Amino acid sequence: MLKDILDNSQNYQPGLSIDCVIFGFHDNQLKVLLIEVENTQKWSLPGGFVPLDQDIDTAAITVLNSRTGVEGIFLRQFAVFGKVMRNHNHFGEEVLKSMEISEEGSKWLTQRFVTIGYYALVDFSKIVLNPTNKSETVKWIDHKEVPELILDHKEILDKALDTLRAELNLMPVGYNLLPEKFTVPEFQKLYETILDKKLDRRNFFRKITNIGILTKLDEKKNNVAHKAPNLYSFDKEKYDEVLKNGLNQGW
């Protein structure tokens, strides 16, 4: 796939790339979608180059879909990464030779690249992985067990995680990540997993209920060892209103 792009590099914006950080929440784990780099033991974020005939946001969707098969999710820009030597050590002579990259292609690939970071938080159980390049391994990996990444992708991942945590203070999350009916402890666990810290139970309940996005149901959770907790659902209209207007609180 990369060789095809380099053979047609005149169709892509020189010096500009896109990298996507896709977080998946499932079974109380925050995972990140990674791609194993061919002929190495390293991994990368789903990334690629920007076609001249596509807007940046459209190119991000194209890149993510071609590398992973993921589609139908909303990507948010979160940062630009442009250190002078950010891709200097990745494409060495041996790597370029093993990839059968031409001299002209090598020059294009090893020029200085500025990359635009995008991120999304999704329920990975609803995501279908179907990369265009069938020789690439695309895998969900726990964010605490991420292996060695190429280039500055660890820095990009860390920045995306910081952004996600900061935005929990500005907007709610959970509508697409929790079941239709859930308990407040389950909702709290989602926030604790993302924030990587314990939250006070009573304080969390007070803050969440004050936001007004929950509807208490006339049901309790079944098959639990202790006292059955109440079940809740999201008030979609109120949830969308809060998303639009934002929050002003900290966790």
Give 118's contacts (C-beta < 8 A, 6+ positions apart): 18, 19, 20, 21, 60, 64, 75, 76, 77, 78
The reported pLDDT for the residue numbered 118 is: 98
Element (H, E) at 23: strand 12-26
Q: CATH number for the domain including 218?
A: 1.10.10.10
Claim to verify: residue 95 and residue 216 sit in the same structural domain: no
Which of 114, 135, 167 is the last residue in one of the domains?
A: 167
149: nearest Cα among 47, 59, 18: 47
Same domain, 132 and 206: no
Give the domain extent around 34: 2-167
Q: With a cut of 50, list the residues of the chain below it in pLDDT.
A: none
173 in any annotated domain:
no
Domain membership of residue 31 (yes or no) is yes
Together in a domain, 35 and 153: yes
In the chain, the number of structural domains is 2
Q: What is the pLDDT of residue 15?
A: 93
Clarify whether residues 46 and 125 are in a common domain: yes
151 lies in the same domain as 188: no
The residue among 133, 167, 201 that closes a domain is 167
Residue 199's pLDDT is 96
Whether 179 is covered by a domain: the verdict is no
* 198: in domain: yes
Q: Is residue 130 part of a domain?
A: yes
pLDDT value at position 98? Answer: 60
Q: Which residues pair with 80 in a beta bridge?
A: 116
Q: Which residues pair with 125 in a beta bridge?
A: none
CA distances from 215 to 136, 181, 212, 223, 236 (A): 44, 10, 8, 22, 10
Identify the pLDDT of residue 189. 95
Same domain for 144 and 191, yes or no, is: no
Model pTM above 0.85: yes
Q: What is the pLDDT of residue 92?
A: 59
pLDDT value at residue 250: 76
Domain boundary among 119, 140, 167: 167
